Chains A and B, each alone.
Chain A
Amino acid sequence: MFWASWLLAALAIVLAWPAPIILSRAAWPARAPFTAMVLWQSIALAGGLSMIGAMLVWGLAPLGDDLLAASGAFLDLLSDDASAPDLGVIHVFAISAGVLLFAHLVFTLALTFVRVRRQRARHRNMLRLLSSPSTDQPDTVVIRHPAPVAYCLPGGARSVTVMSDGLMELLTRPELDAVLTHENAHLHQRHHLLLWAFAAWRSALPWLPTSRLAQGAVSELIEMLADDEALRHVDRATLMRAIVIVGSGTPTSMRQESTPQSSQQEEPPGTADAQGDVDVPLAGQDGRGAGSPSAARIRRLLSPLPPLGRVQQASVLATAGLLLVVPPVLLLAPEFLG
């Protein structure tokens, strides 16, 4: 059991640092976004499990030959006040660190969930006052705003796709269909659950390369998946036109919009700076430049590559499966491997 902890630690380090860096630089995920997504999920899960497992197993090693027996012995220690000559302060420290890390991950996941839900609820409330249902699309609302904007707000049965009338003016019918199919793909494929989990993973361990790279990769991959879904209904040129109009149109129109045109109504003093707020983050947004998250997605549409071969996809999926099997085996039944 002692060396199982070292194997777990080695796995945790590989999954926290070199593996995500290599994967985030690889070109093949653009050719198999779904498979890449599965791999990222198993890297995150296996990484977290081996981090926690390494500490627990190492700390409990003096108490028993496998994790269950050792945990039982540890609980007896806690309740009985029995003495354990083999268990040093350092072991207790490792056990506590493992338990704390586990609690931290679960707590951050729950906290992110609550925060995201609250923000969505608030957004949905305002949306209900400000938008009107689309005349020809189900579960779609239109908001009066000059900037071409489209997004979806997930929320189970209350999921809704939002588009601005500025968008409807600028896009032709097929381009609009491309946008709506793209957004509906996000909702149908439950991409918000992935975003939630990886956002939590990142805020729990922000200093770890894996959590930052994983979140970036996942938000890029879901866009590719949604694009693929849109391409089943419209042709590539239409989707690209929609992207260029929405992508380059938004900041400019926002700037035009922020010159107060809303002066029909007297503005109460407290809200005087609300208009000024609008420009600041957009200026920062321009600075995203060539490395913007949209870059990979656009490159992929500009020069489409054939999907990854079956054999390669199968071997990636097998790796992902193996990653999920190894930590539990090392944790619970180390004798299998030796």
Chain B
Amino acid sequence: MATLGDLERTVMDLLWATTEATTANELRDAIAEAPAPEAGRELAVTTVLTVLSRLEKKGLVERERDSRPHRYRAVTSREDHTAELMHEVLVTAPDRDAVLARFIGSVSEAEAQTLRTLLGGS
């Protein structure tokens, strides 16, 4: 059973894949044709609208107000969202280090050079 979270993901994938503003009806049809995990799912338009309004509240989706029915588009590209998320990961601040544990922070050029020299032989 797909949760609202999974649906949000599917909807965002569809909106990120196009530059056109899209209506809830078109999104519902696209979800029905989409590959896994929502394959062949018949959704009510109201469900799609619920998901869209949740995404709008989160600032991920915007609505064109002058059109009827409303057309929706992604506020920012997927790449920009990813860059923002990675920014959160790569910035080192003492109070943020408690949020997640990164494999390694940046290594100084001297350290990297030493390591490369040592590993070069192996």
User: Which residues of the other chain, B, contact A281 by a CB distance below 8 angstroms?
Assistant: 87, 90-92
- Chain A residues near B109: list those with CB within 8 A: 248
Q: In the docked arrangement, what's the CA distance between A270 and B60, Å?
A: 13
Check B97–A128 contact: CB distance below 8 A. no
Give the contacting residue for B107; candidates A127, A145, A195, A243; CB below 8 A.
A243
Quick check: is A247 within 8 A (CB to CB) of the other chain?
Answer: yes
Q: Which chain B residues in 95-122 approach chain A with CB under 8 Å?
A: 95-112, 114-116, 118-119, 122
Q: A247-B112, A265-B74 are in contact. Are A143 and B82 (CB under 8 A)?
A: yes
Give the size category of A's interface with B.
Answer: 35 or more
Q: Is the CB of B105 within 8 A of A288?
A: yes
Distance A196 CA – B83 CA, assembled complex (angstroms) = 26
Q: Is the CB of A247 within 8 A of B104?
A: yes
Contact with B along A158-199 (1 / 0, CB 8 A): 000010100000000000000100110010000110011001
Q: Is the CB of A191 within 8 A of B101?
A: yes
Tell me, yes or no, whether B94 is within 8 Å of chain A by CB.
yes
Chain A residues whose C-beta falls within 8 Å of the C-beta of B8 in the assembled complex: 128-129
Q: Which stretch of A7-15, A75-83, A99-107, A147-155 is in the interface?
A: A147-155
Contact with A along B50-80 (1 / 0, CB 8 A): 0000000010101000000000001111111
Residues A248 and B112 in contact in the complex (CB < 8 Å), given A195-B98, A199-B94, A199-B95: yes
Asked if B1 CB lies within 8 Å of chain A CBs, one says no
Residues of A within 8 A of B2 (CB): none
Asked if B35 lies at the interface with its beta carbon under 8 angstroms from chain A, I say no
281-315 of chain A: CB within 8 A of chain B: 281-282, 285-286, 288-290, 292-295, 297-298, 302
Task: Evaluate contact between A149 and B90: CB separation under 8 angstroms.
Answer: yes
CB closest residue in chain A, given B103: A150
Residue of chain A at shortest CB distance from B11: A129
Contacts of A244 in B (CB 8 A): 107, 112, 115-116, 119
Q: Is B101 touching A246 in the complex (CB atoms < 8 A)?
A: no
* Of the residues A129, A222, A241, A285, contact of B90 by C-beta under 8 Å: A285
> Within 8 Å of chain B (Cβ to Cβ): is A275?
yes
In the complex, are the beta carbons of A271 and B108 less than 8 A apart?
no
Question: Contact: A130 with B78, CB < 8 Å?
Answer: yes
Complex contact A295–B108 (CB within 8 A): yes
| Cβ contact within 8 Å between A264 and B86 | no
Are the CB atoms of A267 and B76 closer together than 8 Å?
yes
Select which of B19, B75, B82, B96 is within 8 A of A271 by beta carbon: B75
A314 to nearest B CB, angstroms? Answer: 30
Known interface pairs A278-B87, A295-B108. Does A186 touch B101 (Cβ–Cβ under 8 Å)? Answer: yes
Q: Are A274 and B80 in contact (CB under 8 A)?
A: yes
User: Smallest CB-CB separation from A261: which chain B residue?
Assistant: B79
Residues B105 and A292 in contact, CB atoms below 8 Å apart: yes
The interface residues of chain B lying within 8 Å CB-to-CB of A150 are: 102-103
A-B pairs, top 3 by smallest CB distance, nearest first, are A247-B107, A262-B79, A248-B112
Q: Which residues of B contact A (CB under 8 A)?
A: 5, 8-9, 12, 16, 19, 58, 60, 62, 74-92, 94-112, 114-116, 118-119, 122
Other A-B pairs beyond A126-B81, A143-B85, A183-B101, 7, CB < 8 Å: A129-B8, A149-B102, A164-B86, A243-B115, A244-B115, A261-B79, A294-B107
